[in-house]
Every structure is written in C-alpha cells, then in structure tokens.
C-alpha cells in the first residue's frame, strides 16, 4: 500500500516535470549553452556509461569555472548528478586538468601532444588506465582546460560519438575579440538588441549575473577579449570612476580567459587630462598616457589594451598635429608595452572627396609599414569600404610586411537588416578568410592574419558585437549564430561555416535531422539572399544613409560625396558600376597578381564583384546570357524569391521546435520578405530611370512607383541605433 502511494506520488512528480518542460520559456537567454536532457535514450545510456564521474585534482578560478560548467552540462544533458572527485575510482571517468596541476594528468604521457599545442589549446583523448577506459581533457594551462570542457560538451550537445575520441585543438589567432560599440549611456551604436549589457550606473557594486553568462558564452567559442566601449570613444571611460567599474567587469571575466580592452579617445589627454594638447610627440602627452596606463593596470592587472579610431569620421587623431597614424599609435603602445598591452589601431580612415574611398586606407598605411611599434596591430575591416553585404577582401591584407595586421568583422547586422533579418554571416567571414592574397604566392587572408605570411608577433581578429540586453541577447534568434560562428572561425579560420552552422543548430534548437537539414540550407543561402535583394553584382552602399536599413540608391545630397549612394553605383545612361581600373580610380592596382589582373579585366571579374570594379554598359552580355540590365533585375528578383523560400522552409519545420522561437522567426521572416520587396522595387525602379529598359514580363511588377519608395525613406522609422 505504501509502495503504491509512493509510486503514485512519484508519478505526480513525473507529470510535474513534463509540465515544467512544456511551460519552460524558450526565450533564447541560454544561447547555445543549453544542456537539456538528451532525449535519444540509446545515446543517453551510452553517454551515461561512458562518463561515470569527473576527476579534477587542482583548483583555480578558471578550473572552478571548468568544473561548474562540466557539472552543469553533464547534470543537464545526462539528467543525473555527476560526482566530481579528486581521484579515479570508477570504470569510466572524465579526467580534467593540466600536467602542472594534476599528478594524474602528468602521469598520462601526454607531454609530446601537449608540447604540440599552444597555451590555449587542449586535448581530448580516450585513455586506458588500469584496464579501464577514461576520457581525458588536458591542456597546458587552465584556460585550455576550460576550452576543452566546452568543446567536449559541444560534442555531447551535438550527439556526437565520444568512443575513441581524439581531439587536438589550438587557436590560430592570438587575440580573438568582441568589439562593443557601446556608449557609456548604454545606447549601442549599430546595436539592435537593446541597451548595452554593461550597467555602468550600477557598477562596480552590482555585478550582474549576466556578465558571467556573457563570459561563458564567449569562452565556449574561444573569444578571449572584449572592447567594452564604442570606437567613437567617450574619453570618460579612462577616468578613475570608470576604471573601477571596468575592473569589476574584468574580475568577472578573468576566470573565463577574457581580457578587457577600452576604445581610447585620442584627445583624452586634453579632454580628461587637463593638458592643452594631445600631440603624440609632446613629452607631456607621452607622460600622460604612461601614467594613465599605469593607473589602468592598477585596477585591471591583465588589461588588454586600446582600440583606436583616429582621424576617421570626425574622431580626433594624430593628423590634427600633423603626425602620422604610426606616431599616434606608438605613443599609446609605448605606454602599454611594459604591461604587455596592445594597441589595435583602425585602418578605417578616409577623407571626404578626392581619392576613391576604397583606396585610401591602403594608400595611407602602406607607406607607414614598419613604422608601428611591435605591440600595435593595424585593424583592417574585411573589405575596403565598410561591412557591405559583399566586398572584395581589403587590399591591406598581405600588404603590410612589417606591421601586425588584424581583421575586423561585423557581427551586428548594420547593413544586413539589423535584428529584423535572418542573415547567417558565416559564409561572408569564410569568403574573406579564404580569399587568396598572393602576398607571397597563393595564400589566404586567414594566413596573413594568423601571422604565417609575415610572421607577425601579434595576431588578432575582432567582431563588432551584436549583443544587447534583450532577453535573447541578439534580437533575432538567428543573430546568435553570427556571434557563434565568429568565435569559432576566430579560433580556427579553416573550419567550414556550414559545419559550424550544424553545431549551432544542434546546440540551439534540436538534433532532429528533419529540422537541421532544411534550416542549415536556409542559413547557408541567407547571406547571398541579402546580397541579391540589396546590392547584387558588386554594388554597395545603396542604403538609406545614416541609418542603413532600407534602400535609398538615389541619395546624393550629403555633407560628403562618399556618404551618398550615387558615389558608389555611378549609374548613368550608359551603364552602372564603379570603374576601379586604369580608366577609373585604378584601385585594382592595390591587389597582387594574379588577382589584380583578374579584377582589372571585365571578362575575368567574377559576376559577384563586377560592378565593384567596373562601370558596365546596360547591354553588356553576362555569362548567364542575359544583358547586364536583365541580370541586375534577375538578381533582385532572385533575392526576393530566396527570402520567400526561406519562409517556406521555416513553415515546413513547424512543430519541430518550441512555439516561442518558431513564431518569433516566422514573424521576422515576414518582415524580411516585405523589406526585400521594398529593396528590390526601389532599386529596380530607380536604376530603370538610367537603363530605360523594361522589367521583363516574367517578373511581378513593382506594386508602387519610384516616388512612393522615395517617400518611404522618410516615413520609415526605426529604433535607436
């Protein structure tokens, strides 16, 4: 009788669990670090039999983080309470640690393997010990252990076999950062997911638990640095008041291997330092930076360094004192050097008028090659303009032989529909990283920034973050994928963005193949769709200026010609496109052979970059057999079709995931379709005023006139950004 009652009670509890699972809010807060119980029973039992306990013999804040994570992950995924012990006692334990911290690890003969990987790398190996089979996560340092733990959990989340596991992994790039364009008032420039995560007014007293979850997410994909504030930098970040606040954040991040960096305002010596100049060659200024940096390191002993936007878009810089960019960077580098800090000096410098904007960074920085201190890294955007849906790789990659060069990618979708549109940027990142620069023979942009081409002593890659205080961090549920893929590629640029998408889907949504296959296909095509309905064939910057959401290819009256749209597309009665060959700006000359020759010739220029390099007649015959005008129209319509196919794909997976995220994405795809049609119609109708050629009959006619779309620019209104 008692037994029956107990069973009855337990059954009630069981129903309780089901209830909990059904009503659990899938609000996206957990990102890809979801450790829900594995529902595949065979696999669950397999994992359970393979992981009986966790063995850890050492302690440090980072090891503590690793322990908490593995415990949290295994307890959740395996739905049992995994014991954590200081010694092996079971048949199948998970042994975690470094040879320095753990006698057990030291005894496992991993020395050669560990010597082959760098300080942040890790091994995951199956090892026999006293006739029993264990799994070992070993590394040279505590942070390597944490990275290994996340990699191991990822395998379980993705339902991958762990029998016979053998993984060696190490990051190829040293500094892997998120750049937060977050202002001190918590607004975020180009941020579409709420306010900044940093609650400055409550720091240092209140350290939001969200900072830990942010650090966990970053560590899980190998990101090891965060620039806390906007490159359009408020100098007050360097005041003692903010140093105390930032130090509190740094304390939270430290166990997760994440260093804190600041964007520094070049006028800080004047604006907060009370000096009458910020001239980098002035001894007072040099002294000021030294003292300031020393003060920073008092609060943040492992401070990473500065990111600087100078003489760019209104920001102050060394040119204000007739000094070079190198002289500007070095005054800060000199101050940071004794502490091991670096300067990330942005190459995003261009002046109004005069030379082709795409050429200016190269022209300015190549003559300075070798003039920068060795703890400076010149930070170059992936393309020569500004995070457009598609650009060729920036010619500065491979051009600086004696100057550390790092890459800046954009994760936040400034030109990709903000957090309203689905655009998986993995293929964009991959495209630029895989581009061959021929700097020293065939060799990709990735090799350059890995320091393999010129042996840079500092290497780095930065992504402009898409995070905010929205519950789901990134606004669009698929925005999380861009954060994820950035981190994964920063760790190892040779990875495939498709494989990374596969991981992300499994971790974030489900391991159900019926969901994964179509959704992965949709993701992989989504960036190309965004290119096509906005700026196909190498067009760029046709967006509403300032805001960058919708189309305004007609924009011409602006304070600067390079902030107009007509500057970029140059459409006229003859054709369309920016002539960057010898008959135009000759920007092609900045590329190495054979790339240079390929881009210089109309015929050998790939369609996707055609109008980036050439002004092409409307009736030019494309590879497709269509004229340029027909092809342009085709591309725009194709872009909309692709979005509609994304909608169909998403409709087809209804019921395979939770309703909350399903409906969220569905609603956003509806917005994206509407916006894609807006882009298409506005651009096709506008370019038609130059081509004077019809939209072929097979395409649906634009629903409104060009005038309507021109007006739309002024009535459309979006969120703070």
Instruction: Give least dist CB 217 to its own copies, A.
Output: 15
Going residue by residue from 485 to 524, which x/- string records binding to its own copies, judged by CB under 8 A?
Answer: ----------------------------------------
- Based on the shown chain and the rule CB under 8 A, indicate whether residue 2 belongs to the binding site for its own copies: no
Strand partners, 95: 55, 136
Task: State how far the Cα of 69 lies from the Cα of 75, in Å rounded to an integer.
Answer: 10
Strands 122-129 and 166-169 turn out to be antiparallel
- Classified as helix, coil or strand, 608 is helix
Task: State how far the Cα of 541 lies from the Cα of 14, in Å rounded to an integer.
Answer: 57
- Based on the shown chain and the rule CB under 8 A, indicate whether residue 241 belongs to the binding site for its own copies: yes
- Based on the shown chain and the rule CB under 8 A, indicate whether residue 720 belongs to the binding site for its own copies: yes
Of 120, 125, 142, 386, catalytic: 386
701-710 own/partner pairs: CB under 8 Å, 24+ apart: 703/677, 706/682, 709/551, 709/678, 709/681, 709/682, 709/685, 710/552, 710/554, 710/682
Residue with Cβ nearer its own copies (43 or 566): 43
The tokens for 60 are 């440090």
Residues 188-207 that bind its own copies (CB under 8 A): 194-195, 199-202, 205-207
Residue with Cβ nearer its own copies (84 or 106): 84
Strands 132-139 and 122-129 turn out to be antiparallel
- Based on the shown chain and the rule CB under 8 A, indicate whether residue 181 belongs to the binding site for its own copies: no
Annotation marks residue 414 as catalytic: yes
Residue with Cβ nearer its own copies (386 or 470): 470
Annotation marks residue 654 as catalytic: no
E strands, 500-614, where?
Answer: 575-576
Among 29, 563, 620, 699, binds its own copies (CB under 8 A): 29
- Based on the shown chain and the rule CB under 8 A, indicate whether residue 645 belongs to the binding site for its own copies: no
Instruction: Give least dist CB 235 to its own copies, A.
Output: 12
Q: Which stretch binds its own copies (CB under 8 A): 21-29, 387-395, 488-496, 680-688?
A: 21-29
Residue with Cβ nearer its own copies (16 or 597): 16
Is there a contact between 331 and 286 (Cβ–Cβ < 8 Å)?
yes
CA angle 118, 119, 121 (to 5 degrees): 65
Instruction: Give least dist CB 52 to its own copies, A.
Output: 15
Instruction: Give least dist CB 124 to its own copies, A.
Output: 26
For the chain, what is the radius of gyration of the CA atoms?
27
Residue with Cβ nearer its own copies (248 or 344): 248
Residues 413-442 that bind its own copies (CB under 8 A): 418, 420
Residue with Cβ nearer its own copies (187 or 452): 187
- Based on the shown chain and the rule CB under 8 A, indicate whether residue 81 belongs to the binding site for its own copies: yes
Instruction: Give least dist CB 475 to its own copies, A.
Output: 8
Q: Which of 463, 460, 364, 477 is nearest to 404 (CA)?
A: 460
- Based on the shown chain and the rule CB under 8 A, indicate whether residue 186 belongs to the binding site for its own copies: yes
**Helix or strand holding residue 96 (H, E):** strand 93-97
CA angle 570, 572, 578 (to 5 degrees): 25
- Based on the shown chain and the rule CB under 8 A, indicate whether residue 239 belongs to the binding site for its own copies: yes
- Based on the shown chain and the rule CB under 8 A, indicate whether residue 46 belongs to the binding site for its own copies: no
Among 12, 283, 593, 625, binds its own copies (CB under 8 A): 12
- Classified as helix, coil or strand, 598 is helix
The tokens for 170 are 């190490």
Which distant-in-sequence residues (6+ apart) come within 8 Å of 482 by Cβ?
A: 411, 413, 423, 424, 425, 426, 466, 474
Of 111, 119, 313, 654, catalytic: 313
Which DSSP letter does residue 551 get?
A: B
Among 34, 43, 44, 80, binds its own copies (CB under 8 A): 80
Task: State how far the Cα of 394 lies from the Cα of 433, in Å rounded to an integer.
Answer: 11
Residues 453-492 that bind its own copies (CB under 8 A): 469-471
- Based on the shown chain and the rule CB under 8 A, indicate whether residue 282 belongs to the binding site for its own copies: no
Which distant-in-sequence residues (6+ apart) come within 8 Å of 328 by Cβ?
A: 266, 280, 308, 310, 311, 317, 318, 345
Instruction: Give least dist CB 153 to its own copies, A.
Output: 16
C-alpha distances out from residue 429 to 199, 374, 426, Å:
31, 27, 5
Phi–psi pair at 327, nearest 5 degrees? -60, -35
Residues noted as catalytic: 313, 386, 414
Q: Which residues bind its own copies (CB under 8 A)?
A: 3, 6-7, 10-17, 19-20, 23, 25, 27, 29, 37, 72, 75, 79-81, 184-187, 194-195, 199-202, 205-207, 209-210, 236, 239, 241, 418, 420, 469-471, 660, 664, 667-668, 670-671, 674, 715-720
């Amino acid at each position: 009788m008692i037994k029956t009652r107990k069973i009855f009670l337990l059954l009630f509890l069981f129903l309780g669990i089901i209830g909990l699972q059904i009503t659990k809010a899938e609000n996206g807060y957990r990102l890809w670090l979801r450790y829900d119980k594995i529902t595949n029973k065979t696999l669950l039992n397999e994992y359970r039999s393979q992981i009986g306990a966790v063995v850890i013999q050492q302690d440090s804040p980072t090891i503590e983080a690793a322990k908490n994570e593995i415990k949290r992950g295994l307890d959740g995924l395996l739905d049992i309470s995994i014991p954590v012990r200081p010694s092996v006692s079971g048949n199948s334990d998970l042994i975690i640690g470094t040879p320095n911290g753990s006698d057990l690890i030291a005894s496992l003969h991993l020395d050669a393997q560990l010597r082959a990987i760098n300080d942040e790398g890790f091994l995951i190996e199956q090892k026999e010990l006293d006739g029993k089979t264990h799994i070992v996560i070993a590394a040279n340092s505590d942070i390597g252990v944490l990275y290994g733990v996340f990699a191991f959990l990822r395998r379980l989340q993705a339902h991958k076999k762990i029998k016979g596991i053998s993984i060696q992994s190490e990051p190829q790039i040293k500094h892997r950062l998120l750049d937060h364009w977050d202002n001190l008032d918590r607004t975020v420039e180009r941020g579409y997911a709420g306010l900044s995560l940093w609650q400055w007014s409550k720091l240092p007293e209140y350290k939001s638990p969200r900072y830990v979850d942010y650090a966990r997410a970053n560590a899980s994909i190998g990101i090891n640095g965060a620039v806390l504030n906007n490159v359009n930098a408020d100098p007050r970040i360097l005041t003692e008041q903010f140093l105390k606040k930032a130090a509190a954040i740094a304390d939270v991040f430290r166990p997760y291997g994440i260093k804190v960096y600041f964007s520094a305002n070049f006028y800080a010596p004047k604006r907060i330092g009370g000096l009458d100049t910020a001239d980098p060659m002035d001894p007072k200024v040099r002294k000021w930076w030294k003292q300031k940096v020393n003060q920073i390191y008092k609060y943040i002993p492992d401070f990473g360094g500065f990111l600087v936007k100078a003489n760019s878009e209104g920001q102050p810089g060394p040119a204000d004192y007739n000094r070079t960019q190198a002289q500007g960077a070095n005054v800060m580098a000199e101050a940071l050097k004794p502490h091991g800090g670096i300067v990330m000096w942005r190459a995003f410098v261009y002046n109004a008028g005069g030379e082709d904007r795409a050429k200016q960074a190269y022209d300015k920085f190549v003559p300075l090659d070798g003039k920068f201190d060795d703890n400076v890294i010149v930070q170059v955007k992936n393309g020569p303009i500004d995070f457009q849906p598609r650009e060729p790789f920036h010619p500065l990659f491979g051009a600086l032989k004696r100057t550390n060069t790092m890459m800046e990618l954009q994760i936040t979708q400034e030109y990709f529909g903000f957090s309203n549109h689905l655009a998986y940027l993995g293929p964009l990142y991959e495209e630029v990283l895989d581009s061959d620069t021929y700097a020293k023979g065939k060799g990709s942009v990735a090799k350059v920034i890995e320091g393999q081409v010129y042996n840079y002593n500092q290497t780095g890659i930065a992504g402009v973050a898409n995070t905010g205080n929205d519950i789901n961090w990134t606004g669009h549920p698929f925005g999380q994928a861009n954060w994820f893929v950035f981190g994964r590629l920063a760790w190892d640029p040779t990875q495939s963005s498709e494989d990374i998408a596969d991981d992300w889907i499994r971790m974030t949504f489900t391991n159900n193949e019926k969901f994964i296959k179509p959704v992965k296909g949709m993701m992989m095509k989504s960036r190309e769709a965004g290119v096509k309905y906005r700026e196909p064939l190498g067009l760029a910057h046709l967006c509403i200026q300032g805001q960058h959401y919708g189309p305004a290819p007609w924009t011409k009256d602006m304070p600067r010609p390079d902030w107009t749209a007509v500057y970029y597309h140059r459409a006229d009665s003859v054709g369309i496109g920016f002539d960057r060959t010898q008959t135009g700006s000759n920007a092609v000359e900045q590329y190495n052979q054979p790339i240079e020759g390929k881009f210089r010739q109309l015929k050998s220029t790939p369609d996707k970059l055609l109008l980036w390099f050439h002004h092409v007649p409307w009736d030019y015959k494309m590879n497709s057999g269509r004229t340029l005008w027909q092809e342009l129209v085709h591309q725009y319509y194709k872009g909309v079709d692709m979005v509609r196919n994304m909608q169909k794909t998403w409709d087809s997976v209804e019921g395979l995931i939770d309703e909350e995220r399903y409906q969220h994405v569905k609603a956003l795809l509806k917005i994206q379709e509407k916006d894609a049609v807006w882009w298409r119609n506005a651009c096709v109708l506008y370019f038609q005023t130059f081509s004077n050629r019809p939209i072929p009959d097979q395409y649906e006619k634009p629903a409104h006139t060009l005038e309507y779309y021109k007006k739309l620019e002024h009535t459309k209104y979006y969120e703070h950004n």
